[in-house]
Each structure stands twice: as structure tokens, then as C-alpha cells.
Chain A
């Protein structure tokens, strides 16, 4: 038996070996689950899991080559069937490698941006500099999957702007970008007694680091239990800001504001129902200022007002621009998955047509 015939024999056996590989994969998943209680991602990306998965995919791909050979040189009456099998198996291999690669090998990063903010993609190859535009919030989904809209405009090299939303992700360069969560970033101007800024700029609420000790200074609002899952919604409406090298702490809470023209109590437990109706205008803030653990100021501050206390002053804005956290992933895997899916769809249509044709001919 020469090497060519051995190779052909192996190609012929590949689909059966792939099925065996599937059984091995199931056995491996059950074994690791029973013995170690691993989650499915750990199972799949572990070395044995990777070897099994990649072997199955390779065998399916080789099987498609075997079927193609049969379609080309095999009996004429089976050519159609073998050609369809080639298409289906090739599509399946491509989809599966797309899914596996997406789990194990894709590059993932995230960054937060505010309205009108330029973004320089240092260290992210093929991600161009982006000028971000307006953020849109709506309690109405852009497609059948979503119940809310959180979009941000993004313009690259002066080209017409694209919209990055919650789903589906938007292609920019070789990256797929989608909004993961949003929040609020009031422009705070906090000065000490001598007029030097303690904090000046947009404060992205919900992103500041907080020591356990500082967290005990105030009573936080309970986190609303909104549906199931690991939640980034609703966005936080309160924050503790501690300037670097300072004993001062500023606690800020947005307690009310106008959303889509309606005055809303944002401390209410159902506030999450209308947070995506629009942006918050004319807000009222509740602030507390601490020097160490000593409270030096507490009060409600309306938008545009300046609150003064013995140690300084603080002014808060009329409008609260939202910010979004964007997830960016890179890799050819999802494209491969969708191309594979498309090929399989074509193969399935071919199979259905062939089946129908044969039935009609038999009649």
C-alpha cells in the first residue's frame, strides 16, 4: 500500500474518526465534570480538551477532502451527494474552528469613552484613532434582540461616522466593537480653600477605585436586582471620589433629574425603568465631603450651583454626559464562523433540492 492509497484510506475514515472524537469529547466533558467540577470553558481550553476539539475539527476537514475526492473521481451517480457532503463538512469545520478560536485565541480589550472624546488606540494593532460622537440612550431596542438602545457615534479618519451599539458589534479596522455598559460622567469642579483644584473634570461614576475603609464612610444605595445575570445595568448613580495624595473624599449621588422631559426620582427602586429613556438634565445632587473620616459638608446641590464649605467649594454641571465602556475583540474567528455557517446553509439548501429532485424523479 503506497502512501497515496494510505492517505486516501485515511481520508475515507476521517468522518468515522471524527464521530469517535465526538464521543471522546463527550466522555472527556463528563469525566472532568464528575471528577473535578470544571466549567465548560476550562474543559475546552485545557490541553486535552484542545487536542480533542482540534482533532475533531481537523478530521471533519479531512473528511470533506475525502468527500470531494469521491465527488470528483467516484461513481457518477453519487457525485451530487458527495459534493453536498463536502460543502456541509467543510462549512462545519470552518464554523467549529471559528467557535473554538473565538473562545481560546481571540484578543479582547475594553476601554471607556465619553461623548466627543478622541480615542488613540495605543498598543492595539489595526485599531485606528477614533473620534467619538454623541451617545444615544433609548428604551427601545434597535433590533428584535434588544429592549434598549445605547449607541455611540464613532468617526475614523474623517469618514462618515459609524454607530457602535450593544449588538451586533461594529467593525472598525480589524476589530469588532460593541457597547458593554454605560454610565454618567458629571463635570466636577472641586476646589480647596486656596482655590487649587482637588478634582476637575469628568468623573465617570462607578469606575473609581475605592478602599473598603472609605466605602464605610457613607450609606450606599442597595444594588437593584434587575433580572437575572451578571449585571452592569442599571448604571451606578453614586460615587466616592478621593483625589490623589489627599485626605478629602467626595461622595456624590445623583438623586433626581429630568429624563426625556420628565422629572424623575433617581433614588427610587424603579429608577432603572427609565434610565435609558434619555440623558439626565437639570440634575439634583446629594453630596458629602469628608476630611479623613470627618464629615465637613453634606447637602443637596442643584445643577449649576456652587456649594461652599469651610475647606473649599464644589460646582456641579447642568447636564450629565453619559460614558460608555466598549468591548473590542479581534481575530478572524467570528468571520470564519459566519462563513462556515453560510457554507453549511448553502449545503443544506443543496441537500434539500437534491432530495426534492430525487423524490420528483421517482414519482
Chain B
């Protein structure tokens, strides 16, 4: 029961912090209507997400879930874009003057971000709460605890909002800084993590990993460089370092910090106050001191934004679990050569999971995988690819398979497609009720063809 409360509270708290930051900035601009609009849009997004989450399995709904899984990190992309587009636009320095309002497109982008900020996570919340309810045999209690968690988080948001108003936090949050603070919240992704979803920081690391791997491959192709075993040990070790996940995490943090640093630099270059003739020196000194003081305070908020990005990346690197590599479950063929695999256990797996099976003949052991893709589609693939020696795959966080030989992460969504680093797909299978059937002869032939082709 407590789990349902904590999960919902943390998820809603993520939205609460986002709202507090936005509200503080908008209050500074005296844009109360936009404050209410953004708050309302976030709540509407959550409600809509919960509705989608409780709807039964139906193709259009599954379609939405599929694209949510793939597309939910676009919010982070929007945030970076927003920060970069309006990177030089910072609030007027001090004083009680109302600064010039943010441009309409920025507000519209903020509205889009707030409506989708918690929507994807909200879709996954009902099933998680329902699982907890089943586990404690009190579905109603779990739902109530979940609702209570959301309400408490909303109240927390109101308290923080009022504190932010009292301490005039909005004077320290400029438009680009708001985008970056929201990015920090999304990168930390506590809400996503409580639902066992990958936060934006994990996905950023994986993207860097894949881009570096692809770029290395590209480099070798373009420059006609020879295979790794022909390279000098030190060169090879350097390449290994480039493929080190920790290096990718650091690089992801640096790349995500660059837009913030650009914005910070733009802020530092803001014009110093110009004084009219006749202003006393003491007043000038006071004004300049206030200018510098304000600069330091805003600078500290920039540090917080960068800190959130780095914390998220360090957290993900620290939480990086050992790759999941289950022992294959032995299966045998019926008299007619059919291998039957029960889907009862597999069906319980969530999207983005896999199970391994081994089929032994007198000559070889064929290991194949059943992969439940993020859109809940099933793929049957061999535990080998067309390129590397047959060391197989393990599964890593963030919805990726990992080639155990060349360490390439493969997005689960692309598993089942042929070619490249993808595991070799076996498409000739049928599902009848709770049983998946495949022809052992065709499976062996495919395996031998792949292994033979690698000679």
C-alpha cells in the first residue's frame, strides 16, 4: 500500500517541482493566466494519461502506448530546444519593474511541454498500482493510496509555490533557465524510475553510446582502417575507452550541459546598468552591487540546473545494473519437429523484456530469444547477429539489448528487423492461445546459415 502512495507521490512531485519553477517565473512577469493554464494543462495531461492507462487493450490504445514509449523523451528535446532558441532572453536585472513578457511561441511551447510532462508516466501508473493492489490483495486500498499520494504532492506544490512567491524566486528564473530547470527535473526522472521506466538521462547515455559506436564504425569505413586485431594495443585500448559506458555518461552530461552554459554565458554578457547624469556615486555603487548580487544569485540557479543534469547522469551510472542475461530455458521438439513455448510466463513480462530458450541437437545448441517489444509485440530472434561471433545478447536498462561481443546497444523496438547488429529474426512462428510454436528444422537451418555465413 505504501508503495502505491510513494510511487504516485514521487511521480506527482516531479510535476509539482516543474510547476513551482514555471509559476515563479510567470508570476514575475505578472502572467497569472498562464500560470493557471500551465497548471491546468499538467493536471489535464495526468488525467488523460490515467484514462489511457486504465483503458483495456485495444489497437488504437496500444498504438498510443507504443508511441508514448518511444516518444516520451521528446519532452527533453523540446526543453533543450526552448532553452537554445531563447538562450539570450533573460529577465530585467533587478528592481520591481515588470520585465518584457516572454514571446508567445515560448509560452505555447511551455504549454505543450506541461500538457505532456507527466502524461506518459501517468499512462503507466494505473497498471503499476493495480499490480501492487493485486499483490497486497487490496486493489481499492492501493488506488486510494495512490490518489492520496497525488493529492499530497499537489499540496506540496502549493506550499512551495507560495514560498517561491514570498522569496521572489521568479526574479532569478529567466525564460531559458526555466527550460533548463525543467530539463533537469526530466533528466532526474524520479517519476519514471519509480515506474521502472528509463529516465531521460539513461536514454541520453544510451544514445551517446550508440552514436559513438556508429561513428567509430563510420570512421573505420571512411578511412579504410583495418580490423581491430591488426591495430596496436594502445590504439585498441583507446577505442575500448571510447566504448566505456562511464565515458558515455560523462559525455552525455557534458553535451546536455552545453546549452545551459551557452545560456549562462549570454546572461553574464547582459548589459550593466547605465546611469543618468546627476545620479549620486553612492546610488551607483548600490545599484552596481545589486546588479552583481543578482548575477551571483541567478548564477547559482544555473549551477543548480547543471547540477541536476550531472546528478542524474551520475545517478544513472551508479544505478547501472549488471546486464540481464538469463540462463536459456531448455526446450524440446515434438515428434513432428515443432517446438512449443508456453507464453503464460512471457505474457506476464512487461514491454521491453526478453526470455532465452535453448534447443539442442546432436551437433549444436541453438539459443533463441523471445523478446517482448515496448509496444508489446513479440519477436522471435536467434541469440546471434549476422556480424559478430555468436556470443549472444544480454539486456540492459533503458530498453536495449546489448551485443555481448561488440557491446552495441540495440533498441528493443528494432528487434525483429533483419540486418546489422540486430539479432537474426526468425519469422516463421505461430501463436495459438498461450502457446508459441516454431519449426525446429527451420530454426536449425537458419542458425546454421548464419553461423556458416560468418566463416
Residue ranges of A at the interface with B (Cβ–Cβ < 8 Å): 23, 27, 29-31, 33-37, 39-41, 99, 102-103, 141, 144-148, 150, 166-169, 176, 178-181, 206, 210-213, 215-216, 220, 223, 225-234, 236, 272, 327, 329, 334
B174-232 CB contacts (< 8 Å) to partner A? 203, 207, 210-211, 214-215, 217-218, 221-232
Contact A227 B406 (CB under 8 A): no
With A37-B414, A230-B387: A169-B224 Cβ-Cβ less than 8 Å: yes
With A33-B210, A40-B215, A212-B448: A231-B77 Cβ-Cβ less than 8 Å: no
A-B contact pairs, 23 of them (CB 8 A): A27-B81, A34-B207, A40-B211, A103-B222, A146-B230, A147-B231, A147-B232, A148-B229, A167-B223, A167-B224, A167-B225, A176-B224, A178-B226, A210-B452, A211-B452, A225-B405, A226-B229, A228-B240, A228-B407, A230-B387, A230-B388, A233-B230, A329-B224
Contact B215 A27 (CB under 8 A): no
B438-452 CB contacts (< 8 Å) to partner A? 444-445, 448-449, 451-452
Segment at the A interface, from B67-75, B270-278, B315-323, B332-340:
B67-75
| Assembled-state Cα–Cα distance A29/B84 (Å) | 17
* B233 within 8 A of partner (CB): yes
Q: How far is the CB of B367 from chain A (nearest CB, A)?
A: 15
| Assembled-state Cα–Cα distance A225/B403 (Å) | 14
With A34-B73, A225-B405, A228-B407: A150-B230 Cβ-Cβ less than 8 Å: yes
Contact B226 A212 (CB under 8 A): no
Contact A99 B222 (CB under 8 A): yes
With A34-B73, A35-B70, A169-B224: A215-B230 Cβ-Cβ less than 8 Å: no
| Assembled-state Cα–Cα distance A329/B22 (Å) | 56
Contact A40 B448 (CB under 8 A): no
Q: How far is the CB of A20 from chain B (nearest CB, A)?
A: 10
Contact B70 A34 (CB under 8 A): yes
Q: How far is the CB of B248 from chain A (nearest CB, A)?
A: 14
Contact A141 B218 (CB under 8 A): no
| Set of chain B residues within 8 Å of A334, measured between Cβ atoms | 222-223
| Set of chain A residues within 8 Å of B239, measured between Cβ atoms | 228
| Set of chain B residues within 8 Å of A210, measured between Cβ atoms | 452, 455
* B348 within 8 A of partner (CB): no
Contact of B452 among A141, A215, A225, A228 (CB under 8 A): A215
Q: How far is the CB of B84 from chain A (nearest CB, A)?
A: 7
Q: How far is the CB of A34 from chain B (nearest CB, A)?
A: 6
Contact A223 B411 (CB under 8 A): no
| Set of chain B residues within 8 Å of A29, measured between Cβ atoms | 211
Contact A212 B230 (CB under 8 A): no
Interface of B is mostly: helix
Residue ID in chain A nearest B400 by CB atoms: A37
Q: How far is the CB of B201 from chain A (nearest CB, A)?
A: 14
| Set of chain A residues within 8 Å of B227, measured between Cβ atoms | 180-181, 229-233
| Set of chain A residues within 8 Å of B71, measured between Cβ atoms | 34-35
Q: How far is the CB of B426 from chain A (nearest CB, A)?
A: 14
| Assembled-state Cα–Cα distance A353/B151 (Å) | 65
Contact B235 A145 (CB under 8 A): yes
| Assembled-state Cα–Cα distance A141/B84 (Å) | 47
Given contacts A40-B214, A228-B243, 6 further A-B pairs with CB under 8 A are A34-B73, A148-B230, A178-B226, A225-B391, A225-B405, A272-B229
* B63 within 8 A of partner (CB): no
| Set of chain A residues within 8 Å of B445, measured between Cβ atoms | 212
Contact B229 A227 (CB under 8 A): yes
* B428 within 8 A of partner (CB): no
Contact A233 B203 (CB under 8 A): no
| Assembled-state Cα–Cα distance A310/B215 (Å) | 57
Contact B448 A216 (CB under 8 A): yes
B75-90 CB contacts (< 8 Å) to partner A? 77, 81, 84
| Assembled-state Cα–Cα distance A230/B387 (Å) | 6
* B300 within 8 A of partner (CB): no
Q: How far is the CB of B113 from chain A (nearest CB, A)?
A: 16
Q: How far is the CB of B318 from chain A (nearest CB, A)?
A: 24
* B454 within 8 A of partner (CB): yes
Residue ID in chain B nearest A224 by CB atoms: B389
| Set of chain A residues within 8 Å of B226, measured between Cβ atoms | 146, 166-167, 178-180
In this complex, the member of B207, B236, B389, B410 whose beta carbon has the largest number of chain A beta carbons within 10 angstroms is B389
Residue ranges of B at the interface with A (Cβ–Cβ < 8 Å): 70-71, 73-74, 77, 81, 84, 203, 207, 210-211, 214-215, 217-218, 221-233, 235-236, 239-240, 243, 363, 387-389, 391, 405-407, 410-411, 413-414, 420, 444-445, 448-449, 451-452, 454-455
Contact A40 B207 (CB under 8 A): no
Q: How far is the CB of A174 from chain B (nearest CB, A)?
A: 15
| Set of chain B residues within 8 Å of A168, measured between Cβ atoms | 224
| Set of chain A residues within 8 Å of B215, measured between Cβ atoms | 40
Contact A146 B207 (CB under 8 A): no
Contact A40 B225 (CB under 8 A): no
Q: Which 6 A-B pairs have the closest CB atoms?
A: A212-B448, A37-B411, A40-B214, A229-B228, A233-B229, A166-B226
| Set of chain B residues within 8 Å of A27, measured between Cβ atoms | 77, 81
| Assembled-state Cα–Cα distance A31/B210 (Å) | 14
Contact B211 A33 (CB under 8 A): yes
| Set of chain B residues within 8 Å of A34, measured between Cβ atoms | 70-71, 73-74, 77, 203, 207
| Assembled-state Cα–Cα distance A166/B228 (Å) | 11
| Set of chain A residues within 8 Å of B240, measured between Cβ atoms | 228
| Set of chain B residues within 8 Å of A23, measured between Cβ atoms | 84
| Set of chain B residues within 8 Å of A176, measured between Cβ atoms | 224
In this complex, the member of B223, B226, B231, B389 whose beta carbon has the largest number of chain A beta carbons within 10 angstroms is B226
In this complex, the member of A99, A225, A230 whose beta carbon has the largest number of chain B beta carbons within 10 angstroms is A230
| Assembled-state Cα–Cα distance A37/B411 (Å) | 6
Contact of B233 among A36, A147, A178 (CB under 8 A): A147
| Assembled-state Cα–Cα distance A205/B211 (Å) | 36
In this complex, the member of A180, A216, A231 whose beta carbon has the largest number of chain B beta carbons within 10 angstroms is A231
| Set of chain A residues within 8 Å of B410, measured between Cβ atoms | 37
With A35-B71, A146-B232: A223-B454 Cβ-Cβ less than 8 Å: yes
With A169-B224, A216-B363: A225-B389 Cβ-Cβ less than 8 Å: yes
| Assembled-state Cα–Cα distance A169/B227 (Å) | 14
| Assembled-state Cα–Cα distance A211/B455 (Å) | 12
| Set of chain B residues within 8 Å of A216, measured between Cβ atoms | 363, 448
| Set of chain B residues within 8 Å of A236, measured between Cβ atoms | 455
Contact B222 A147 (CB under 8 A): no
Q: How far is the CB of B391 from chain A (nearest CB, A)?
A: 7
| Assembled-state Cα–Cα distance A110/B414 (Å) | 30
| Assembled-state Cα–Cα distance A354/B263 (Å) | 30
| Assembled-state Cα–Cα distance A109/B223 (Å) | 15
| Set of chain A residues within 8 Å of B388, measured between Cβ atoms | 229-230
Contact B231 A146 (CB under 8 A): yes
| Set of chain B residues within 8 Å of A146, measured between Cβ atoms | 226, 230-232
| Assembled-state Cα–Cα distance A212/B210 (Å) | 33
Q: How far is the CB of B453 from chain A (nearest CB, A)?
A: 9
| Assembled-state Cα–Cα distance A223/B455 (Å) | 9
With A35-B71, A37-B413, A327-B224: A212-B232 Cβ-Cβ less than 8 Å: no
Contact A228 B406 (CB under 8 A): yes
| Assembled-state Cα–Cα distance A329/B389 (Å) | 27
| Assembled-state Cα–Cα distance A231/B411 (Å) | 23
| Set of chain A residues within 8 Å of B74, measured between Cβ atoms | 31, 34
Contact A33 B224 (CB under 8 A): no
